[in-house]
């Protein structure tokens, strides 16, 4: 493997003798890292010592903050929350063996949601690798299946370039997690610091150069608008790639210029302002009924940074079945046509592509007003709803009220389960990177550590972790991290005494056989646990009449706060598109109005004047 020097001024420390551990710290500092999450241990001790010495030799404004979690998985999710909220590369650092293997889930989670993080693992000395030494694990083999790239740094003279290259790979192209496995003797080796240089990966560099030079030409734009001109009911389907690529502003401008409404995936929430008239909110298994109906009704679908996930597409053949044209913009060529066949596609940066389409469409003349009017009727008639008359606390009311109190400006993190879907449905989001959740992996225990990372990345924002009792248990130890570092995260626990989403499936599809999901016999007192960990504001809410008053006090508390709300354990998440079903079989529950099934529209008559029909089907 060769190295490639950067064309820049010589680093001020070039030529200085340093240990490998000191080189790691210097490179991550040069990369702009201000926070490292991690747990120490024998094989990574030299680098932790380097953190101490680096900070001792720098003023506080230039030090690297070290946040020690309860366990390594927590460190990984903190780094992920930091990266998702800031758009920068998150960094976590752990020891060998169990320290590294505890990070497999965060690495896979970041890979699935295209989150740029760098994990630095200690490893046993090179001479001991393969001998089943104490706390040895085959990190390269394990992580290779989960990460964007994995380095085993076996050559001490390549350590500096390896760390620098890891950051370049993590943030470039389709972002993702990169793992560096560093033997202890490589950390201790002393050599000259170069201050520059990257490792060469010619195939990756060639693909990356092609992506960076990929632009929508006049002919491609003309083809796009030729197809759009044939249609009357266009819809944009925006995924997490819109946020990852920084394309939210471009998407909003494009949507507003042409008057095209937008549905988003779970990870695409925030790419458009949810309060906008053009926002139809989330689609898919637990998307809004009106979003799913709009997908059924559209005759042109533009997917941007989305991958037709099974929780979105359902029955693939029936997804957007009335669309005459399906277009797809994505930075990853592997996603084009992987699930759903499309007839117009562009592989490249979403922001640049949307800006090119917007520029090319300035002279495009068509009237989508009847379609927008129809979409408005869908939103009004099939709006989200729940049991507002129940004497028990409904989780939807709690989140609806909390959204009002924070005015759509909070960063909301979640665990995984019913609470995650209710939060996605009932919170408003005006800005991108304000919704942080485990999308593709659906990892329980994600919410609290991710919220800590997000709060440290965005100290001026209100950060709320919406969690469930099952999900919170998985990383409950991180409550202590809140108090240890005085991180002012607001932890909202919606407690239904069970694994709510699994119980919902057992209720609907398994004859109410609640195997393994009933937590009513558990003795955990979350309030006492939060008090024991030193949280200043700790309350339990079980009186429906006190929801607004208690939530207001909870949000306004200056430091970390914990609020447990005892919710109706029979509350379900609706709408729901059941497993193996399509949107036409969507279950809207008791309180959301479904539409009456009708025959599919003919090709021409209904397109001419949609204002005269209350529903398309």
Same domain, 261 and 183: no
Query: What does the pLDDT read at residue 148?
Result: 98
Same domain, 174 and 268: no
Provide the mean pLDDT of the chain.
93
- Tell me if 574 is assigned to some domain: no
Same domain, 241 and 266: yes
- Tell me if 573 is assigned to some domain: no
From the list 52, 134, 369, 510, the catalytic residue is: 134
Identify the domain boundary among 149, 184, 211.
211
From the list 88, 148, 184, 519, the catalytic residue is: 184
- Tell me if 89 is assigned to some domain: yes
Query: What does the pLDDT read at residue 164?
Result: 98
- Residue-number span of the structural domain to which 25 is assigned: 3-211
- Tell me if 436 is assigned to some domain: yes
Same domain, 143 and 256: no
- Tell me if 590 is assigned to some domain: no
What percentage of the chain reaches a pLDDT higher than 90? Answer: 92
From the list 72, 160, 355, 564, the catalytic residue is: 72
Euclidean distance between CA atoms 477 and 274, whole angstroms = 34
**C-alpha dihedral, 52 to 58 to 62 to 64, nearest 10°:** 0
575: cis peptide before it, omega within 30°? yes
> Which helix (DSSP H) or strand (DSSP E) does residue 505 occupy?
helix 500-509
Q: Is 501 among the residues known to form the active site?
A: yes
From the list 4, 63, 135, 364, the catalytic residue is: 135
Answer whether residue 268 shows pLDDT above 80. yes
Identify the domain boundary among 155, 184, 211.
211
From the list 93, 143, 501, 610, the catalytic residue is: 501
Same domain, 239 and 149: no
Taking a C-beta distance cutoff of 8 angstroms, is the pair 554, 539 a contact? yes
Query: What does the pLDDT read at residue 616?
Result: 33
CB-CB neighbours of 542 under 10 Å? 12
Distances (CA, A) of 187 to 35, 155, 271, 575: 20, 11, 42, 53
Q: What is the CATH number of the domain that holds 560?
A: 3.40.50.970
- Which conformational region is residue 308 in: left (phi greater than 0), alpha (psi within -120 to 50 degrees), or beta? left
Q: Is 135 among the residues known to form the active site?
A: yes
Same domain, 239 and 368: yes
Euclidean distance between CA atoms 395 and 27, whole angstroms = 46
Same domain, 405 and 533: yes
238 forms bridges with which residues in the sheet? 264, 304
Euclidean distance between CA atoms 20 and 184, whole angstroms = 9
Same domain, 206 and 226: no
- Tell me: the pLDDT tens digits for 311-364? 999 899 999 999 999 999 999 999 999 999 999 999 999 999 999 999 999 989
Query: What does the pLDDT read at residue 2?
Result: 41
Query: What does the pLDDT read at residue 521?
Result: 74
Answer whether residue 603 shows pLDDT above 50. no
Same domain, 36 and 164: yes
Same domain, 335 and 463: no
Identify the domain boundary among 155, 185, 211.
211
Q: What is the CATH number of the domain that holds 232?
A: 3.40.50.1220
- Tell me: the pLDDT tens digits for 428-448? 999 999 999 999 999 999 999
Q: Give me the helices (H) in 57-158, please.
A: 72-86, 98-101, 104-112, 139-144
pLDDT category at 597 given cuts 50, 70, 90 is low
pLDDT category at 5 given cuts 50, 70, 90 is very low
Euclidean distance between CA atoms 20 and 189, whole angstroms = 6
Query: What does the pLDDT read at residue 8?
Result: 61
**468 three-state secondary structure:** strand
Query: What does the pLDDT read at residue 598?
Result: 52
- Tell me if 400 is assigned to some domain: yes
DSSP 537-596: EEEEE--GGGHHHHHHHHHH-SS-EEEEEE--TT----SB--TT--GGG-B-TTTSPPPP
Rounded to two decimals, the pTM is 0.94
The total number of structural domains that make up the chain:
3
Same domain, 517 and 378: no
Mean pLDDT, range 134-160, rounded to an integer: 97
- Tell me if 389 is assigned to some domain: no
- Tell me if 575 is assigned to some domain: no
Euclidean distance between CA atoms 103 and 99, whole angstroms = 7
Same domain, 65 and 202: yes
> Which helix (DSSP H) or strand (DSSP E) does residue 423 occupy?
helix 418-426
- Tell me: the pLDDT tens digits for 489-500? 999 999 999 999
């Amino acid at each position: 493997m060769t190295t490639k020097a950067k064309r820049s001024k010589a680093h001020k420390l070039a030529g200085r003798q340093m240990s490998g551990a000191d080189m790691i710290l210097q490179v991550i500092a040069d990369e702009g890292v201000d926070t490292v999450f991690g747990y120490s241990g024998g094989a990574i001790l030299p680098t932790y010592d380097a953190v101490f010495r680096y900070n001792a030799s720098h003023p506080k404004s230039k030090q690297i903050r070290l946040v020690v979690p309860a366990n390594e998985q927590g460190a990984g999710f903190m780094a992920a929350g930091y990266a998702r909220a800031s758009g920068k590369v998150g960094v976590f650092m752990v020891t060998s063996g169990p320290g590294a293997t505890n990070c497999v889930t965060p690495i896979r989670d970041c890979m699935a949601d295209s989150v740029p993080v760098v994990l630095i693992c200690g490893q046993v000395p090179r001479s001991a690798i393969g001998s089943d030494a104490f706390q040895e694990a085959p990190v390269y083999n394990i992580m290779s299946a989960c990460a964007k790239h994995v380095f085993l740094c076996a050559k001490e003279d390549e350590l500096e370039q390896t760390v620098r290259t890891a950051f370049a790979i993590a943030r470039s192209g389709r972002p993702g997690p990169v793992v560096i496995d560093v033997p202890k003797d490589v950390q201790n080796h002393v050599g000259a610091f170069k201050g520059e240089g990257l490792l060469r990966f010619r195939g990756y560099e060639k693909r990356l150069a092609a992506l960076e030079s990929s632009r929508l030409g006049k002919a491609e734009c003309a083809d796009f608008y030729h197809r759009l001109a044939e249609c009357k009911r266009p819809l944009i389907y925006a995924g997490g790639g819109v946020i990852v690529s920084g394309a939210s502003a471009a998407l909003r401008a494009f949507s507003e210029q042409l008057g095209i409404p937008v549905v988003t995936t779970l990870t695409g929430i925030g790419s458009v302002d949810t309060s906008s008239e053009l926002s139809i909110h989330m689609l898919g298994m637990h998307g809004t009924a009106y979003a799913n109906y709009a997908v059924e009704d559209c005759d042109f679908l533009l997917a941007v940074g989305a991958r037709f996930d099974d929780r979105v597409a359902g029955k693939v053949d029936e997804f957007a079945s009335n669309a005459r044209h399906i277009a797809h913009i994505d930075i990853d060529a592997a996603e084009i046509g992987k699930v759903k066949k499309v007839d117009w596609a562009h592989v490249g940066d979403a922001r640049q592509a949307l800006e090119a389409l917007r520029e090319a469409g300035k002279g495009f003349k068509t009237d989508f007003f009847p379609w927008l009017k129809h979409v408005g009727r869908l939103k009004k008639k099939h709006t989200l709803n729940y049991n507002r008359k129940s004497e028990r606390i409904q989780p939807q009311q709690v989140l609806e009220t909390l959204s009002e109190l924070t005015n759509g400006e909070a960063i909301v993190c979640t665990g995984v389960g019913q609470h995650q879907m209710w939060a996605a449905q009932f919170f408003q989001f005006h800005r991108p990177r304000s919704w942080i959740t485990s999308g593709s992996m659906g990892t329980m225990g994600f919410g609290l550590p991710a919220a800590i990372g997000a709060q440290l990345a965005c100290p001026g924002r209100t950060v709320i972790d919406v969690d469930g009792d099952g999900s919170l248990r998985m990383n409950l130890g991180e409550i202590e991290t809140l108090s240890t570092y005085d991180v002012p995260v607001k932890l909202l626990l919606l407690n239904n005494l069970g694994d709510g989403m699994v119980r919902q499936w057992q209720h609907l599809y398994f004859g109410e056989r609640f195997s393994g999901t009933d937590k009513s016999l558990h003795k955990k007192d979350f309030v006492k646990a939060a008090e024991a960990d030193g949280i200043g504001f700790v309350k339990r809410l079980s009186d429906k009449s006190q929801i607004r008053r208690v939530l207001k006090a909870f949000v306004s508390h200056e430091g970390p706060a914990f609020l447990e709300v005892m919710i109706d354990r029979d509350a379900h998440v609706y709408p729901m598109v059941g497993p193996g079903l399509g949107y036409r079989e969507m279950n809207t529950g008791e309180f959301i109005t479904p539409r009456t099934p009708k025959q599919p529209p003919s090709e021409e008559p209904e397109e001419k004047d949609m204002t005269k029909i209350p529903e398309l089907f």
